[in-house]
Copies of this chain bind each other. A is one copy, B any other.
Amino acid sequence: MNFTFQAIGTIYSPFKTLEGMPIQPTGAIGVQGKIVMMPKYVEGLTDLEGFSHIILLYLFHKSNEFKLFVTPFLDNKPHGVFATRAPMRPNMIGLSIVKLQSIEDNILHIENVDILNGTPLLDIKPYVPEFDQYLDTRIGWLEQAKGEVDNKQSDDRFV
């Protein structure tokens, strides 16, 4: 069964190519970007400005095929794609939590942007610690990579 989605806007950032990008928002502290929403959705942004952080769901639009095993940037061993945040997933939906600075009409100014320039936006949700924050977690293979993500940049492996 197929489900069809459409972009609700476009994400702009300083990252014009997949190489040399931060691999998560934590590695993109201070990086400014903006979202240009399609005007027909602007009313849906009402009251969003009260939230300091927002969850963006977007299309990994430069990934063309999925792989069941990927070697992510934070390791040199392959892992199942669902145990990674790599873009080459069966449904190529990316998730980033960014800082919302301000909204002017259909433009959202955002910070900590680890997203490629020109990325189609699928959804915005408010980030709510009560819903989205879990302490006491295990993070499997990523345990050894803790702290590395801030310095790591992407290369051409997912191009």
- By a beta-carbon cutoff of 8 Å, the part of chain A in contact with chain B is 1-8, 24-26, 41, 43-53, 55, 57, 59, 68-69, 79-85, 89-91, 93, 95, 97, 120, 122-143, 146-147, 149
A150 to B49, CA, bound (A): 25
Copies in the complex: 2
Contacts of A122 in B (CB 8 A): 3, 91, 93
Q: Are A128 and B81 in contact (CB under 8 A)?
A: no
The answer to whether A125 and B82 touch across the interface, beta carbons within 8 angstroms, is yes
Contact between A97 and B132 (Cβ–Cβ < 8 Å)? yes
**A43: which B residues are within 8 A, CB to CB?**
68-69, 80
Instruction: Give me the 6 closest cross-chain CB pairs, A-B, nearest first.
Output: A50-B140, A46-B80, A52-B138, A47-B83, A48-B83, A43-B68
Question: Which residues does chain B contribute within 8 Å of A142, judged by CB atoms?
Answer: 51, 126, 128, 130
A95 CA / B140 CA spacing, docked (Å): 21
- Take A97-B132, A134-B129 as given contacts and tell me if A68 and B82 are in contact as well, using a CB distance cutoff of 8 Å: no
Chain B residues with CB under 8 A of A49:
140
Q: How far is the CB of A90 from chain B (nearest CB, A)?
A: 5
Chain B residues, CB < 8 A from A69: 43-44, 46
CB < 8 Å: which of B8, B26, B130 contacts A26? B130
Say yes or no: B137 contacts A83, CB within 8 Å.
no
Do the beta carbons of A5 and B3 come within 8 Å of each other?
A: yes
